[in-house]
Chain A
Amino acid sequence: MKPAPFKFVAASSLDHALALKAEHGDEARFLAGGQSLIPAMNFRLARPSVLIDINALTGLAGIDRSETGQVRVGALTRYRALERDGDFLRACPLFADALPHIAHPQIRNRGTIGGNLSHADPASELPALAVAMQAEMRIRSAAGGRTVAASDFFAGLLTTDLASDEMLVDITFPVLAPRSGACFMEIARRRGDFAIAGVAAIVTLDEERRCASVRLALCGVGETPVDAGAATSPMLGSRVTGEVIDTVAAGVRELIAPSGNVHGSPDYQRHVAGVLVQRAIRTAHQRIGHAA
């Protein structure tokens, strides 16, 4: 058998799961889709002594559009459900671009959004989406609950703001604003593999079709998703021209500090990130409806 021994408990309720986590702390891990945790256990890189299976907690899964202007996604919602929900993909179009890049259909049938974000892999797409979209993460523990902005949630390599007794229970994404366009792009050596670099861009115009705001976040080029907002100031208040996009891309190349990996040197990653910034902003801008 590959994983080291552990005690398995199928949680019967959220309170049950949280009580177990409070009792066992860092020794325990929540098991959702298992598409990152089980491989790590097979390699014995992860050796939890208690595994709290939350797959029966169906109340943690689902897409709630009942409040205007936002979508709340339960942490146990699988990629499969997200990619088959046309209304969700229209409200949050970055997901329509990003989900096909997440591994393969078999993985997307099991993997969950909450597991992805809690795992906080820096090459993963969804942390960058959460930062670009300014999502809010709702967190529960046996002692209570709190809400954290996505920008404060990702603390480091595979590390989040979650304490040892806490669980991410749902994520609230603002729907795409009027006069806005969005685009996610990434480059990987093979389909479904970890990104060398990825970029999520959201461009919003004012009534004169000048740039009112730009949200820009990258994956794969740092220990956390990188909020590249600081590089977007040349765009604000101006027309979205090739020249101004080039300036933003140059700023992003300065801003990021990729470490390089087997697929590319830091310089190569920086180059790819800049090209993707250009393409993603241009595409996001083109996608803004002229009637809007």
Chain B
Amino acid sequence: MQPDQHEIEFTVNGTHYRRMVESRMLLSDFLRHELGLAGTHVGCEHGVCGACTILLDGHPVRSCLMLAVQANGRALATVEGLASASGELHPVQQAMHAHHGLQCGYCTPGILMTMTAYLAEHPSPSEDEVREALSGNLCRCTGYQNIVDAMMDAAARMREAAP
């Protein structure tokens, strides 16, 4: 069987791409291996762990549960796009650093993508709501408490910055 190839056009973090992809290429593998955007991590590859979470037209999704060919015409955002061009970390990244919200860091990109989108939609969450929002991202190092602390702090800082 000839590989089933498709031409797709899309943006990642505002950069426009046009590529040929085989239809069975997962979006997660495509981002890492074809575009070299290895910040998106691949964990379970069946939608459970959340490490590969990216934003599709602004909404968090599992990139291991999408085909790259489905990205045609869409706007993607990955962890590489969170910090500013000058290298200044996003407030959620700064808070994760300040509160020791990671140890091995494998789950971190997925958590950052999930929570930046969540906090943009819910600027004043309760701690319970943060835990619920985090429920689709597994972390085996931290026990989550430091991540929750980081998110509450990041939410407060972002409210101060844009009241």
Contacts and interface: CB of A to CB of B under 8 A. Distances in A.
A191 interface: yes
Contacts, number: 97
A106 interface: yes
Nearest to B52: A106
Contacts of B135: 104-105, 191-192
B60 A103 contact: no
B45 interface: yes
A256 interface: no
Given A5-B4, A107-B62, A39 B47 contact: yes
A34 interface: yes
A42 B26 CA distance: 9
A51 B25 CA distance: 13
B61 A2 contact: no
Interface in B124-151: 132-133, 135-137
Interface string B46-62: 11001001001001111
Given A104-B136, A107-B136, A4 B24 contact: yes
Interface in A5-24: 5-8, 10
A149 interface: no
A3 B61 CA distance: 19
A146 B114 CA distance: 41
B24 A6 contact: yes
A5 B22 CA distance: 9
Interface in A181-203: 191-192
B163 interface: no
B133 to A, nearest CB: 6
B65 interface: yes
Contact of B67 (A4, A7, A38, A109): A38
A4 to B, nearest CB: 7
B45 A42 contact: yes
Contact of A38 (B29, B60, B65, B72): B65
21 contacts: A2-B24, A2-B45, A3-B26, A5-B4, A5-B24, A7-B4, A8-B23, A8-B69, A34-B70, A35-B62, A38-B64, A38-B67, A41-B24, A42-B45, A51-B67, A104-B50, A104-B136, A107-B65, A107-B136, A110-B65, A110-B66
Interface of A: 1-8, 10, 31, 34-35, 38-39, 41-43, 51, 53, 55, 80, 100, 103-107, 109-110, 191-192
